[in-house]
Amino acid sequence: MSAGSTDTAVRTGRITRTALYLVLLLFALFYLLPFAIMVINSVKPLTEITGGNMMALPQDWTFDPWVKAWATAQIGVDPTGLKPYFWNSIKMVVPAVAISTILGALNGYVLTKWRFKYDTLIFGFMLFACFIPFQIVLIPMARILGLAGLAGSTPGLVLVHVVYGLGFTTLYFKNYYQVFPTELVRAAQIDGAGFFRIFWRLLLPSSGPIIVVSVIWQFTNIWNDFLFGASFADFDSQPMTVALNNLVQSSTGVKEYNVHFAGAILAALPTLLVYIVAGRYFVRGLMAGSVKG
């Protein structure tokens, strides 16, 4: 976004401006409401929810639903709460994000600074992989994970997420390194630096922003994934999203809405946190998703 253009050429009158603000505020309400209500109702006792008004603030503040969602709620067969699944997600997300980002950085470096015949074609193949409907790989992936002894395991999920995130990370780094001056690489070559040294000493030190973009994008996507988790995980490797769905959809017993909400917020918390801390980069990541970056 260009910084210099503070003065807009478009002028608007008073009435129009009031209408503008009104519409914008209405939409802000639309976006905030569902989540806000979820937060409010997660600290209400169940009776207040089923009997009362969802917009009303709690009369009895209680954090029991949160504690229950985290530690004791019945998910699957055991009353473990979401806690173990939260750690499953962490154990899956961290290596998957790290590996796919490192590979993406190297790929982007090769594809922009060490070009060779058919490199655009190869990039095209990688990029296309971002957009395939994952349903097409579900059956063979289940087979391969089974054959490799990775079925239902966290390393299996890491592999899956690395493979299908690679296209995006490569795209990010390629777009970023594309505008990194090639003359610098040439100067370093004349100075006698080799492939890895140029990467390590020249490109990597100025890759901070794009590393953040890539990490945030991968983190959000992998954390929020449901399809792969639901398809390839076992009870001891299920990620947070799958556990949350099991919690919410469980048909046994009373529906404890407040616990569901607390669980949903718990599942959303890491990505929301990332978004609050590094929202700027998050937007950039989304933008770069539109290929051009």
Among 69-77, 79-87, 90-98, 119-127, the segment contacting other proteins (CB under 8 A): 119-127
In this structure, the number of other CB atoms found within 10 A of the CB of residue 108 comes to 26
238 binds other proteins (CB under 8 A): no
Beta-bridge partner residues of 78: 75
- Residue 9 binds other proteins, judged by CB under 8 A: yes
Q: Does 69 bind other proteins (CB under 8 A)?
A: no
57 binds other proteins (CB under 8 A): no
Q: What is the DSSP string of 232-285?
A: HB-TTT--HHHHHHHHHH--SS---HHHHHHHHHHHHHHHHHHHHHHHHHHHHH
Which of 63, 87, 114, 200 touches other proteins (CB under 8 A)?
114
Nearer to other proteins, 67 or 127 (CB): 127
> Would you count residue 50 as binding other proteins (CB under 8 A)?
yes
Site for other proteins contains 258 (CB under 8 A): no
Considering only residues 218 to 237 of the shown chain, the ones binding other proteins according to CB under 8 A are 220, 223-227, 230-231
Q: Distance from CA of residue 227 to its chain's centroid?
A: 14
Q: Measured in whole angstroms, how far is the alpha carbon of residue 258 from the centre of its chain?
A: 25
Report the residue from 47, 57, 87, 186 that binds other proteins according to the rule CB under 8 A.
Answer: 186
What's the Cα-to-Cα distance from 162 to each of 12, 92, 254, rounded to whole Å? 49, 10, 39
Question: Per CB under 8 A, does 12 bind other proteins?
Answer: yes
Of positions 32, 71, 148, 277, contacts other proteins by CB under 8 A: 32
Contacts with 189 (C-beta within 8 Å, 6 or more apart), sequence order: 198
Bridge-partner residues for 233, per DSSP? 152
**Touching other proteins, residues 127-166 (CB under 8 A):** 127-129, 131-141, 143-144, 162-164, 166
288 binds other proteins (CB under 8 A): no
- Nearest distance in Å: CB 48, other proteins: 11
Q: Angle formed by the axes of helices 257-288 and 14-42, to 10°?
A: 130
- Taking a C-beta distance cutoff of 8 angstroms, is the pair 240, 85 a contact? yes
Q: Which two tokens stand for residue 69?
A: 């969602």
Residue 18 interacts with other proteins (CB under 8 A): yes or no: no
- Is residue 253 close enough to count as binding other proteins by CB under 8 A? no
Residues 268-287, mask of contacts with other proteins (x by CB under 8 A): x--xx-xxx--x--xx--xx
106 binds other proteins (CB under 8 A): yes
Collapsed DSSP state (helix, strand, coil) of residue 78: strand
